[in-house]
């Protein structure tokens, strides 16, 4: 439709908006591209082979994965209930779920410490089964989960909402129990939204800095004490300067970028189907 008009002279609004849009794009893309091309592939490879770096990337990815799986197990049911039921205070609840996104993450870390600390309620509770949340991998996991779960819940909820409730009704009248209906009809149809929500959650989790910083600096992992990748970038910058921090930063950006490309591929496939 816009094509039909393209032969006419562009109006002032289009020109001004194009100019402003270009400035925005330059602002977003320049730092990313400049950082990425500043380190040669050789340097990146050497950096990746440093024990401190690959352990850091491994612990980050692994903790992110655990956080995402727990998120799936506990967050998907919540998302389904939010999509299917209306109740008083639902709006408020949905806003509260998104709170971790908008608060400073160092504050989120403090809040977590306040309930998961050794002598705090959850700290004591989980202490009975031998899980501690200070200076442990579990601490990384809860910090990641807290700040990134809204992405999964929101995406899964929208996915469930897009499944017509009458499909579930038909399944029920055809003899399917609520469980069978959920696993054979609802879940397969909302699966892409849940998957893209999971990737978003994971990508956000592995980027987490603030909350983890409060809870744990060196993570006990495979007999070593690596730092999660975002903290490693900060640590190198602080102690050795920009040139030392840059290759690690590039690696972190690339991993997130790959996750994002996968996410995009999945969502475009969804549109075609």
Partner 1 sequence: MISLQNLNVDLGEFVLQDINLEVKAGEYFILLGPTGAGKTVLLEAIAGLHPVLKGAISIDGKEITKLKPEKRGVGIVYQDQMLFPHLSVEKNIAFGLKAMRCPKQEVKPRIDDAVALLGIAHLLHREPRTLSGGEKQKVALARALVTRPTVLLLDEPLSALDPNTRERMQHELAELHRRLKVTIIHVTHDFEEAGALGDRVAVLNEGQIVQVGTPSGVLRHPSSAFVADFALTRNVFAGHAKQVENGHVSVDIGGIDLMVTTDARGPVHLALRPEDILLSPDHLRSTARNAFEGTITRVMDRGETLYVTVTVPPDFVCLVTRQAQEELSLREGVRVWITFKASAIHVF
- Residues forming beta bridges with residue 224, ordered by sequence position: 221
Q: Residue 104: what are its φ and ψ, rounded to 5°? A: -60, 135
Decide: is 175 part of the binding site for partner 1 (CB under 8 A). yes
**Contact status: 167 vs partner 1 (CB under 8 A):** yes
Closer residue to partner 1 in complex, CB, 4/273: 273
Q: Can residue 266 be called a binding residue for partner 1 (CB under 8 A)? A: no
88 binds partner 1 per the rule CB under 8 A: no
Q: Does 189 bind partner 1 (CB under 8 A)?
A: yes
Identify whether the C-beta of residue 211 lies closer than 8 Å to the C-beta of residue 143: yes
Q: Considering the complex, what minimum distance in angstroms separates the CB of residue 193 from partner 1? A: 13
Query: Is residue 174 a contact point for partner 1 (CB under 8 A)?
Result: yes
Note whether 162 binds partner 1 by CB under 8 A: no
Residue 192 beta carbon to partner 1: minimum distance, rounded to whole angstroms = 10
User: Considering beta carbons, is residue 80 or 151 the nearer one to partner 1?
Assistant: 80
Q: Per CB under 8 A, does 89 bind partner 1?
A: no
The torsion angles phi and psi of 8, rounded to 5 degrees, stand at -75, 160
Distance CA 138, CA 216 (A): 10
Long-range CB pairs of 115-120 (<8 Å, 24+ gap) are 116/142, 116/215
Task: For residues 74 and 124, give the distance between their C-alpha atoms in angstroms, rounded to a whole number.
Answer: 21
Per CB under 8 A, 271 contacts partner 1: no
Q: Which residue's CB is nearer to partner 1, number 16 or number 174?
A: 174
Cβ distance to partner 1 smaller for residue 94 or 270: 270
Pick from 94, 96, 134, 131: nearest CA to 114: 134
CA distances from 219 to 3, 52, 69, 206, 213 (A): 56, 12, 20, 14, 11
| Spatial separation of the C-alpha atoms in residues 77 and 157, rounded to whole Å | 9
**What string marks each residue from 121 to 160 as x (binds partner 1 by CB under 8 A) or -?**
----------------------------------------
Q: What is the contact surface with partner 1 in residues (CB under 8 A)?
A: 164, 166-167, 169-177, 180, 184-185, 188-189
């Amino acid at each position: 439709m816009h094509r039909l008009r393209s032969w006419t002279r562009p109006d002032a609004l289009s020109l001004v908006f194009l100019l402003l849009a270009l400035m925005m794009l330059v602002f977003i893309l320049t730092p990313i591209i400049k950082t990425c091309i500043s380190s040669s592939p050789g340097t990146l490879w050497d950096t990746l082979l440093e024990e401190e770096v690959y352990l850091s990337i491994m612990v980050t990815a692994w903790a992110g994965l655990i956080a995402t799986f727990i998120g799936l197990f506990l967050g998907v049911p919540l998302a389904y209930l939010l999509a299917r039921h209306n109740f008083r205070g639902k709006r408020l609840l949905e806003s509260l779920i998104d709170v971790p996104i908008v608060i400073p993450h160092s504050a989120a870390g403090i809040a977590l410490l306040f309930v998961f600390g050794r002598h705090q309620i959850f700290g004591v509770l989980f202490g009975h089964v031998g899980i501690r949340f200070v200076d442990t991998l579990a601490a990384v996991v809860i910090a990641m989960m807290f700040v990134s779960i809204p992405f999964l819940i929101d995406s899964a909820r929208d996915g469930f909402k897009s499944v017509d409730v009458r499909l579930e009704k038909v399944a029920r009248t055809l003899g399917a129990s609520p469980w069978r209906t959920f696993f054979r009809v609802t879940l397969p149809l909302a699966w892409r939204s849940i998957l893209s929500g999971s990737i978003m959650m994971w990508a956000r989790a592995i980027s987490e800095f603030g909350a983890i910083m409060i809870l744990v600096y060196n993570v006990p992992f495979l007999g070593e004490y690596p730092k999660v990748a975002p903290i490693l970038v900060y640590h190198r910058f602080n102690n050795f300067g920009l040139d030392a921090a840059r290759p690690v930063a590039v690696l972190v950006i690339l991993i997130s970028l790959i996750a994002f490309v996968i996410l995009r591929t999945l969502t475009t496939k969804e549109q075609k189907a």
